[in-house]
Amino acid sequence: MDTRRYRGFTVPRLYEGIAANRDEAVERFYQGFVGFARRLMRAANIDVTVIGAENIPAEGGAMLAGNHTGYADFILLGTGPYLHGDRLVRFMAKKAVFDVPVLGQLLKIMKHVPVDRARGADSIAPAVSMLREGNLVGIFPEATISRSFELAHFKTGAARISHQAGVPLIPCVIWGSQRIWTKDLPKHFRNVPVIVRYGEPVALTGDAEADTAELKRQMQLLLDASRNEYASLHTDGACEAWMPVALGGTAPTIAEAEKIYARERAEREAKKRRK
């Protein structure tokens, strides 16, 4: 792929940026946080290649659905919107996080979206409202970091929320984030290449299960493309703990990862009962 540098990132040579979204460019605090994160990545030589940023709408609401392999995914998923109009992503997060002193206040200032899972279907209302107001909302359909570094089970929230709000559902795949900081592996905050790839919007039918299956299918295609490109440009990850076992790595299988998650969930529930 023929590439060039644009605003500190590697992009396809034919990609052209657009003018900043006027409504979001004035949010000084969140834009300042984005700038700080960008400087940190540059200082750490985290080389991020962004492909498909043109699929991010210049204005109006859209749901961005990303895979989840590391703690840096929140920052990385926002690189395309940053390049394509200085847009901001409002991430969905557990309501309890918003009750944490300082952190909760920062999340509210940046207009991230609290989700109260105990309210069932009503929990999606804040995200629907945010999308209808013209914002980008970010979600990780796996709902937790995938230790297998494969696409794990997808929840249907992304499809349901996008359809109800009447906005595009844009798939995003991040590859390489797990090498920076993830569960159970050493951290590497320097000299890590990452590929962030956005696809065209998923055609929604209103059938949440079918739409979620199609979202996952399209994300798998994006993931395969990024993995192939990563292997040719950087490393194939053979015998590495950050590479899926199906591709020659030593990460847990999907089944093994699910068992680990189930055990952790049981331990959390037991801890709550003891309190």
In the numeric block, the tokens 């979204």 are attached to: 21
Q: Is residue 257 part of a domain?
A: no
Give the pLDDT score at 172: 98
Distance of alpha carbon 160 from alpha carbon 128, whole angstroms? 9
State the total domains in the chain.
Answer: 1
Q: Is residue 256 part of a domain?
A: no
Mean pLDDT of 127-133: 97
Q: Is residue 271 part of a domain?
A: no
Give the pLDDT score at 269: 87
In whole numbers, what is the pLDDT of the chain averaged over residues?
95
Q: Which residues contact 88 (CB under 8 A, 6 or more apart)?
A: 24, 27, 30, 31, 34, 78, 81, 110, 111, 135, 136
Q: Is residue 247 part of a domain?
A: no
User: In this model, does residue 150 exceed pLDDT 80?
Assistant: yes
Give the pLDDT score at 120: 63
Q: Is residue 265 part of a domain?
A: no
What residue numbers bound the domain in which 157 lies? 3-236
Please, are residues 65 and 161 in contact by the beta-carbon 8 Å criterion? Answer: no
3-state secondary structure the chain: CCEEEECCEEEECCCCCCCCCHHHHCCHHHHHHHHHHHHHHHHCCCEEEEECHHHCCCCCCEEEEECCCCCCHHHHHCHHHHHCCCCCEEEEEEHHHHHCCCHHHHHHHCCCEEECHHHHHHHHHHHHHHHHCCCEEEECCCCCCCCCCCCCCCCCHHHHHHHHHCCCEEEEEEECHHHCCCCCCCCCCCCCEEEEEECCCECCCCCHHHHHHHHHHHHHHHHHHHHHHHHHHCCCCCCCCCCCHHHCCCCCCHHHHHHHHHHHHHHHHHHHHHC
Q: Model pTM? A: 0.96
Q: Is residue 261 part of a domain?
A: no
Domain at 106, CATH number? 3.40.1130
For 217-257, the pLDDT digits (tens) are 999 999 999 999 999 999 999 999 999 999 999 999 999 99
For 102-117, the pLDDT digits (tens) are 999 999 999 999 988 7
Q: Is residue 70 part of a domain?
A: yes
Mean pLDDT of 43-56: 98
Give the pLDDT score at 119: 73
Q: Is residue 241 part of a domain?
A: no
